[in-house]
């Protein structure tokens, strides 16, 4: 149940950020839910592989390359979801940063209700 609530909160965050950022577009809330599911799958499957493959670069940049990996995952979600569009890697990077920030706020509100 908590996983479904987190997916719905992520979808809300995607809709909010698509409304705020001009380089990001989402067709509707159903597309945002699909984006949330695809992002969860990509973060679960692809991100660990990318982190392992780019470990020397990540160590060399003191972890800042993880931001690029997150932006690449956002661009992959753009590729897989028809109703979601990100215009460039810079918008994907900003979207990734703001999505993480917004998710931390929303998830902390979810945990505070208990």
Tell me if 43 is assigned to some domain. yes
Tell me if 113 is assigned to some domain. no
Tell me if 18 is assigned to some domain. yes
Q: For the chain, give me the number of helices (H) and strands (E)?
A: 5, 2
Q: What value does the CA radius of gyration of the chain take, rounded to a whole number of Å?
A: 14
How many beta carbons lie within 10 A of that of residue 66, not counting itself? Answer: 17
pTM equals 0.90
Per the structure, how many domains does the chain have? 1
What would the pLDDT profile of 56-69 be if each residue is shown by its tens digit? 999 999 999 999 99
Domain that holds residue 31: 2-108
Q: Quick check: 20 pLDDT over 70?
A: yes
Tell me if 36 is assigned to some domain. yes
């Amino acid at each position: 149940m908590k996983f479904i609530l987190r997916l719905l909160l992520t979808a809300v965050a995607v809709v909010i950020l698509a409304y705020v950022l001009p380089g990001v577009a989402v067709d509707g809330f159903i597309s945002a839910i699909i984006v949330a599911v695809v992002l969860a799958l990509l973060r679960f499957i692809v991100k660990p592989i990318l982190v392992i493959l780019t470990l020397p670069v990540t160590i060399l940049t003191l972890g800042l390359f993880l931001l690029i990996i997150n932006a690449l995952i956002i661009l992959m979600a753009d590729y897989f979801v028809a109703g979601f569009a990100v215009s460039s890697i810079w918008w994907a990077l900003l979207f990734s940063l703001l999505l993480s920030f917004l998710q931390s706020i929303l998830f902390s509100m979810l945990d505070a209700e208990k």
